[in-house]
Amino acid sequence: MTTRTREITPKSTMGEVLETYPSAKRALFQAYHIGGCHSCGYELGEALENVCASHGLEDVSEVIEFIKKSQEQDDKVQVSAREVAEMVRSRVPFKFLDVRSEEEWQVAKISGAQLVTEQLVQEIMTSWPKDTTIVVHCHHGMRSLDAASYLIGHGFQNVRSLAGGIDAWSREVDPTVPTY
C-alpha cells in the first residue's frame, strides 16, 4: 500500500481529497452518487464536509473511512509495468486487455495486449473462467482501474490494473511504444 503524506479531514477540500486518495472520485460516485454529473458535482475548493452535507450524508468520518478503504483496494489491484513485463518474460499465462479506444490503439499498443471490444466483453462474461488471470491497461491507469473493478464486481478473482497504463510501459519497459 502507498503511504499517504497527508491525512484528510472533514475540512479538507475536494482537491486535497483527490490528490491524497486518487480513487476517491470513483469511490464517491459509486457509493454515494457524488461527482458523476452536474447535479451531483462539487468544486475542488469545496470542503468534504460541505459536499457530504449537500448530499445528505451526516457521518463524514464514515465517508472518509470509505475513501481510505477504496484506495487500499485500488492499491492492491495495481501492478507495475515492470511486474507485467516479468510476467510476459517468464511466460506466466494471463490475458492482457487494452481498454483504450480504437483510435488510441492505432497510435500505440503493447505487444500481446488485446483491444477490448463489445464482442470480447461478451466472451469474457459468458465463457472465461472466473479464476482467469487478467491484466488490464489504458493510457494512464484510471480507466483500467474502472475496468478491473467491473471485472472483480462480476466475480473475476485474479484481475490487476497496469499502474500508469501504456504511458508507464513506454517509460519503464519498452521505449519503442509511442507516448501520446
- Residues annotated catalytic, as ranges: 138
Cβ proximity of 97 and 147 under 8 Å? yes
The residue type of 120 is L
Closest-CA residue to 71 (of 4, 167, 16, 137): 4
Report the distance separating Cα 168 and Cα 152, nearest Å: 23
Per residue in 63-99, is it b (16+ CB within 10 Å) or e — as a string?
A: bbebbbebbeebeebbbbbeebeebbeeeeebbbbbb
Closest-CA residue to 66 (of 17, 106, 4, 117): 17
Q: In the numeric block, which cell numbers belong to residue 135?
A: 491484466
> DSSP character for 13?
B
Cβ proximity of 141 and 168 under 8 Å? yes
